[in-house]
Structure 1
Amino acid sequence: MSCRVLFVSDDVNAQRAFRLSFAPLRREWDVTVARGGADAMRRLDGPGFDALVADAHLTSVGCADLLLEVRRRHPPTARIVLADRREPDELVRLLALTHRVLQKPYDPTELQNAIQRAYSLRELLHSPSLASVVGRLASVPALSTLYSRIADELMTPDYSLSAVGDLVAQDLGIAAKMLQMANSALIGLRRPATTPNQAVKVLGADLTRTLVLAADLFSRYNPNSLRPFSIEALWEHSQAVAGLAGAIAASERHDDRLSRESALAGLLHDIGRLTLASQLSGPYREVMNIIRVEGLSAADAERRVLGTSHAEVGAYLLGLWGLPDAIVEAVAWHHNPGGCPGGAFTPLTAVHAADAIVRAGEGAKPDAEYLTRLGLADHWGRWVELRERPKVTA
């Protein structure tokens, strides 16, 4: 089945350039070009598209309005925006409504990779084996009122960072945990934040939302109720992977946002284990027994017992909760990065490498073919050395 893509722009030259760049893929991709937002709205009456690529500057119907409508009528559609970073105010308004933002003028290969990765992620998260396990959960873990209110605020195109900061400040426990993590080596703020509003202004709304989610999920369970599964060990491992993933991304000279997304993806990469251990306690005791007796990895033991792994379950939940695709992708493929299309360094690269390094004592190894594909095989030694740096203190 081909990937169905809708491209939306008011610019005739941009429409022509998009058609030309995607012409070699016409046997594999079904590409439709809409002449502006109003034309795109009419095309939403059909069965839907796998991916929407929209120019941030639309006139007849604004880009934010189009994204809101696509999210309402076709939630699985991957939403990608082409934006001019010289206009940050407009970009901030769109960040909460899109899965990915690419800078104009865009590289056609980069855009094709972004679409393919988004399409592959959605195929993975709709697999029958994953659906079977999700269907066995007693309920999808409920989010805190604070997180839900932040998510609601972010749904409005003109949301306020100050309003997000004020919401965080209302829950003293989560606010304290978020500030602790934001000021630690995990995130690496250049200037310490002393209030939620300061942290939000530096981190941005999406990263704040992810930190709030992590603080919420790891603080809601009674550790004794999950034995023999150890939430303390999971938290310690998650912090180690998060700190190292952020350091690896920084060592590759990528921007602060990618480094922070890598760290946050590392913090959440095993969240599916917490969900499975708390909601499917009987089967998960069997998983843990296989790990102990046979020495299998958690992912392999989970697939034997459940037919899927914590990576897919965690990615499914994070996608359901509206986290950015880059973080969902890193969680989904952190054990099998070669399954994700694309040839660029992403949070997935950092989390996969960090997890393998942290678990080296358990026999974990990196995906050498994947690193070679990215041209990063000779970077491994430098990444391993980063493990010796001071540990995260969050």
Structure 2
Amino acid sequence: MSRRVLVVTDDPAVRRALRDTFAPLVAEWEATFSSGTEAVKHLLGLRFDALVLDAHLPANGATELLTEGRRRNPSMARVVLAAPGRTEVIGLVALAHRVLPRPCPPDELVGVIQRTYSLRELLNSPSLAALVGRLTTIPALSAVYTRISEELAFPDFSLATVGGLVAQDLGISAKLLQMANSALVGLRRPASTPSQAVRILGADLTRTLVLAVDLFSHYNPYALRPFSIEALWEHSQAVAELAAAIAVAERAEERVIRESALAGLFLDIGRLTLASQLTGPYKEILALMRHQHLSAVAAETRVLGTSHAEVGAYLLGLWGLPDGLVEAVAWHHQPSGCPGTVFTPLTAVHAADAILQEDEGAEPDWAYLERLGLRSRYSEWKGLARERTSAHVP
């Protein structure tokens, strides 16, 4: 059975191009083309798996359609096409899963639609829903993070205000400075105060780094033994640094480099959540890993029916983080499950995680790297890890 995609545009040239894009995919995607004024009728009549929307509809047409589509079918993949530099697109970012340039290369558009749909499907699986239902609480965002996020949302946000908010929490302040001065960010000069770190990092990077630190800072490391929060945080930082270096080596876009690093920090947030809220089952998982030499994913799936990767992706989606991060966390152990043939943050994070756990028998998903034509690059990425290890040795 083919999936349904609703394509909405009032521009004849864009419509012709999109018809050509979907024509070869008729067996997989049944495309319905609509004008902006007729699109709501289609949404009322059929259930679509994806919505591809031209941002440049009259009045607030794009905003209204995205809002209605999300209300009627939250799991529908929502992709927006927008000409670069158009200010009205800013308001659509929060409503869409992905925003792509218009015109968009057909292969890129199809790849994004397939990955976005697959991610929505993964996050709505019954096994994940059942596990999330067992969690007593969803990890909450602290008041400090919320206030920082609200201040950074203003175009003219105050560096002094944000720095002062960061400084209120010594744990967040110390870790933010540590990351701001690490190879992860690569600052030309060290930051010695929270305000300096914020000035150099910028709003988006500061917000996401504070979220990562905030989440790790609110757990008692002694209460979760033998699970080690310290080891998890150190590994996450190492993956973040190496993933960013791999993305740089592949000459990826700045957005991909940044999301590769940030996805590394959130890589195992699902493990932290499971270990803290399902302490009994997770001790059973750790015992299986230790005595039967199972991987974390295999042991978690045996005991819980799903793994920390899906739980982590669910949480990131709940907190509104970009799809690139959510995708990387969701499939970082099994990237072959994610459609696509191009380098993404998932590629960087999966490779970095495998390289850093090679001593424990980890291997990359060779079939995935073959599909992307990157198998031969893996040895060079391992060299980057050795270089970074040497640089950290005093």
TM above 0.5: yes
CA distance in 2, matches of 1:199, 1:52: 39
Question: How many Å apart are 1:121 and its aligned residue?
Answer: 1.0
| Secondary structure, aligned partner of 2:222 | helix
Does structure 1 conserve the Cα–Cα contact (< 8 Å) formed by 2:75 and 2:121? no
* Counterpart among 265, 268, 286 of residue 266 in structure 2: 268
Task: For residues 167-199 of structure 1, give each alpha carbon's deviation from its aligned partner in whole angstroms, at most 9, with x where no partner exists.
Answer: 575242335543542442113356766777776
Q: Residue in 1 aligned with 2:96?
A: 98
TM-score, with length taken from structure 1: 0.89
CA distance in 2, matches of 1:114, 1:20: 17
Supply the AA of the counterpart residue of 1:8.
V
* Counterpart among 368, 371, 384 of residue 370 in structure 1: 368
Q: Residue in 1 aligned with 2:303?
A: 305
Structure 1 pair 148–48 and aligned structure 2 pair: CA distance change class (3 A): farther
TM-score, with length taken from structure 2: 0.89
Q: Which stretch of the first structure deviates more once superposed, 91-100 or 319-328? A: 91-100
Structure 1 pair 213–109 and aligned structure 2 pair: CA distance change class (3 A): same
CA distance in 2, matches of 1:268, 1:256: 19
Structure 1 pair 142–285 and aligned structure 2 pair: CA distance change class (3 A): same
Task: For residues 323-354 of structure 1, give each alpha carbon's deviation from its aligned partner in whole angstroms, at most 9, with x where no partner exists.
Answer: 11111111111110111100000000000000
Unaligned 5+ residue runs, structure 2?
A: none
Q: Which stretch of the first structure deviates more once superposed, 104-113 or 352-361? A: 104-113
| Secondary structure, aligned partner of 1:388 | helix
Structure 1 pair 245–148 and aligned structure 2 pair: CA distance change class (3 A): same
CA distance in 1, matches of 2:196, 2:89: 20
Task: For residues 63-102 of structure 1, give each alpha carbon's deviation from its aligned partner in whole angstroms, at most 9, with x where no partner exists.
Answer: 34543444444332222222223x1645544434332222
Q: Which stretch of the first structure deviates more once superposed, 115-124 or 204-213? A: 204-213
Structure 1 pair 160–34 and aligned structure 2 pair: CA distance change class (3 A): farther
Q: Residue in 2 aligned with 1:58?
A: 57
Q: Residue in 2 aligned with 1:67?
A: 66
Does structure 1 conserve the Cα–Cα contact (< 8 Å) formed by 2:331 and 2:338? yes
Does structure 2 conserve the Cα–Cα contact (< 8 Å) formed by 1:96 and 1:206? no
Structure 1 pair 13–200 and aligned structure 2 pair: CA distance change class (3 A): farther
Q: How does 1:1-394 map to 2 (within 5 A)?
A: 1-36=1-36, 38-46=37-45, 48-85=47-84, 87=85, 89-148=87-146, 160-163=154-157, 166=161, 169-172=164-167, 173=169, 174=172, 177-189=175-187, 206-390=204-388
Supply the AA of the counterpart residue of 2:165.
Q
Does structure 1 conserve the Cα–Cα contact (< 8 Å) formed by 2:166 and 2:194? no
Q: Which stretch of the first structure deviates more once superposed, 65-74 or 49-58? A: 65-74
Task: For residues 170-229 of structure 1, give each alpha carbon's deviation from its aligned partner in whole angstroms, at most 9, with x where no partner exists.
Answer: 242335543542442113356766777776677565544322220111101010111110
Q: For the aligned residues, what is the CA RMSD?
A: 2.7
Structure 1 pair 33–188 and aligned structure 2 pair: CA distance change class (3 A): farther
| Secondary structure, aligned partner of 1:67 | helix
Structure 1 pair 162–223 and aligned structure 2 pair: CA distance change class (3 A): farther
Supply the AA of the counterpart residue of 1:10.
D
Structure 1 pair 368–95 and aligned structure 2 pair: CA distance change class (3 A): same
| Secondary structure, aligned partner of 1:389 | helix
Supply the AA of the counterpart residue of 1:162.
D
Structure 1 pair 19–11 and aligned structure 2 pair: CA distance change class (3 A): same
Structure 1 pair 72–186 and aligned structure 2 pair: CA distance change class (3 A): farther
Q: Percent identity?
A: 62
